[in-house]
């Protein structure tokens, strides 16, 4: 028997099962610098330690998405190595900032299972949670993945289909305990707009584009110790429908979010990711663009320094936002994503308010 495993197949999962993911990872300022180099990220709390200090943080926290990708990367070997498709994620909540020196580890619990009618695969739902070295929860999320069966003959489990929340409601939105934005000045970011300035339904077309090369996405994905093979093995992927390595969806999110800085300069932190669709594949050579729509604007109870914005971040490949009115188009009576849309992300951020004394 070959000692090199091949991950879990559909019949290896059982309801309530807990998987402790291997290879905890100590993070450092290096990860933040690499993240900046890989994405061009400029959000202020992750860029400047004195600003983080002034806003109540003990150190500059890692970019929320960097922390998420690191935590998510831990789960791949056990959950999605045999994925037919990553179907979705929801209820991603950023419970606590991650700082240089922290060590992240992750575990997942199976919360749903449903075999596909063809008997060749099934859908697995897991709730994953990452903790730091003090066993404090830093992130939690639900994802669901279609996974191959190893043995078609194995009986189907009793189907249990969870219903992830459509979005993280205000009541469940985590706000970093330390965050105090009373002293915030827009000069820190160069962007003049604060929470009050964003109107429901408003759309922001981010002007910059970023072309992805093979080394960009493979460096990023390796940094996260995410070992999903379709990102790395060009020989394997030459035989796939894509013909080449697929860019990790998390890198697409990160690049689009970095592009979204222009027009959303004063976002301080991501509080939640409500859900996301990777509408079409992203491949090296693609140039990404992005636009944002404001879905909701929430006051936060007891806070006059920050508010929350629920945003829709749409990522495009090889098409500028000005060229696309609507990401979903009707073709032959069917509504589906425009072929140049690669990302449709629903997430919630925190932004300083105008202080009204």
- Using CB under 8 A as the binding rule, the residues of this chain from 147 to 166 that contact a copy of itself are none
Q: Which of residues 268-307 bind a copy of itself (CB under 8 A)?
A: 285, 287
Nearer to a copy of itself, 142 or 194 (CB): 194
Nearer to a copy of itself, 96 or 231 (CB): 231
Nearer to a copy of itself, 29 or 180 (CB): 29
For a copy of itself (CB under 8 A), the number of binding residues is 80
Nearer to a copy of itself, 120 or 213 (CB): 213
Cβ proximity of 221 and 232 under 8 Å: yes
Q: Which of residues 190-249 bind a copy of itself (CB under 8 A)?
A: 190-191, 193, 197-198, 202, 204-211, 213-216, 218-220, 222-223, 225, 227, 229, 232-236, 245
Q: Interface mask (CB under 8 A) for a copy of itself, residues 170-189, using x and -?
A: -----------------xxx
CB of 198 to a copy of itself, least distance (A): 8
Instruction: Report the C-alpha gap between 352 and 300 in whole angstroms.
Output: 11
Q: Which of residues 15-34 bind a copy of itself (CB under 8 A)?
A: 20-26, 28-34
User: Following CA atoms 133, 76, 142, 112 in sequence, which dihedral angle do they give, to the nearest 10 degrees?
Assistant: -120
CB of 153 to a copy of itself, least distance (A): 24
CB of 17 to a copy of itself, least distance (A): 14
CB of 161 to a copy of itself, least distance (A): 28
CB of 5 to a copy of itself, least distance (A): 6
CB of 25 to a copy of itself, least distance (A): 5
Instruction: Report the C-alpha gap between 295 and 273 in whole angstroms.
Output: 13
Nearer to a copy of itself, 229 or 354 (CB): 229
Q: Interface mask (CB under 8 A) for a copy of itself, residues 93-132, using x and -?
A: --------x-x-x---------------------------
CB of 68 to a copy of itself, least distance (A): 17
Q: Which of residues 35-94 bind a copy of itself (CB under 8 A)?
A: 36-40, 42, 44, 47-51, 60, 77-78
The candidate with the shortest Cα–Cα distance to 324, out of 334, 316, 332, is 316
Nearer to a copy of itself, 204 or 345 (CB): 204
Instruction: Report the C-alpha gap between 102 and 59 in whole angstroms.
Output: 11
Instruction: For residue 12, state whether it binds a copy of itself (rule: CB under 8 A).
Output: no
SS (H, E, C) the chain: CCCCCCCCCHHHCCCCCEEECCCCEECCHHHHHHHHHHHCCCCHHHHCHHHHHHCCCCCCCCCHHHHHHHHHHHHHHHHCCCEEEEEEEEEEEECCCCCCCCEEEEEEEEEEEEECCCCCEEEEEEEEEEECCCCCEEEEEEEEEEEECCCCCCCCCCCECCCCCCCCCHHHCCCCCCCCCCCCCHHHCCCCCCHHHCCCCCEEEEEEEEECCHHHHHHHHHHCCCCCHHHCCHHHHHCCCCCCCECCHHHHHHHHHHHCCCCCCCCCEEEEEEEEECCCCCECCCEEEEEEEEEEEEECCCCCCEEEEEEEEEEEECCCHHHCCCCEEEECCEEEECCCEEEEEEEEEEEECCCCC
Nearer to a copy of itself, 213 or 299 (CB): 213
Nearer to a copy of itself, 75 or 115 (CB): 75
Q: Which of residues 318-337 bind a copy of itself (CB under 8 A)?
A: 318
CB of 158 to a copy of itself, least distance (A): 28
């Amino acid at each position: 028997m070959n000692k090199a495993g091949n991950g879990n197949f559909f019949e290896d999962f059982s309801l309530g099962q807990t998987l402790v993911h291997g290879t905890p990872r100590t993070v450092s300022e290096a990860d933040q610098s690499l993240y900046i180099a890989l994405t061009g990220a400029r959000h202020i709390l992750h860029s400047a330690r004195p600003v983080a200090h002034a806003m109540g943080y003990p150190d500059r926290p890692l970019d929320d998405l960097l922390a998420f990708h690191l935590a998510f990367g831990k789960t791949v070997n056990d959950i999605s190595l045999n994925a037919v498709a990553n179907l979705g994620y929801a209820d991603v909540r950023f419970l606590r900032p991650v700082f240089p020196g922290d060590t992240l580890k992750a575990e997942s619990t199976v919360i749903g299972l449903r075999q596909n009618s063809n008997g060749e695969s099934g859908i697995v739902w897991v709730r994953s949670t990452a903790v730091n070295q003090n066993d404090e929860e830093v992130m939690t999320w639900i994802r669901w993945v279609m996974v191959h069966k190893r043995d078609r003959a194995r009986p189907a489990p009793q189907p249990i289909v969870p219903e992830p929340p459509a979005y993280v409601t205000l009541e469940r939105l985590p706000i970093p305990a330390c965050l105090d934005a009373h002293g915030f000045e827009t000069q820190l970011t160069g962007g003049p707009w604060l929470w009050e300035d964003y109107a429901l339904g408003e759309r922001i077309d981010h002007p910059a584009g970023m072309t992805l090369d093979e080394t960009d996405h493979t460096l990023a994905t390796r940094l996260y110790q995410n070992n999903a093979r379709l990102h790395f093995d060009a020989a394997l992927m030459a035989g796939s429908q894509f013909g080449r390595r697929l860019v990790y969806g998390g890198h697409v999110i990160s690049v689009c979010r970095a592009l979204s800085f222009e027009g959303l300069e004063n976002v301080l932190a991501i509080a939640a990711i409500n859900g996301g669709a990777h509408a079409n594949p992203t491949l090296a050579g693609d140039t990404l663009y992005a636009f944002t729509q404001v879905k909701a604007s929430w006051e936060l109870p007891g806070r006059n320094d920050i508010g929350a914005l629920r945003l829709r971040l749409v990522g495009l490949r090889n098409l500028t936002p000005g060229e696309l009115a609507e990401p979903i188009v009707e073709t032959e009576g069917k509504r589906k994503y425009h072929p140049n849309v690669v990302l449709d992300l629903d997430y919630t951020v925190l932004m300083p308010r105008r202080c009204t004394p």
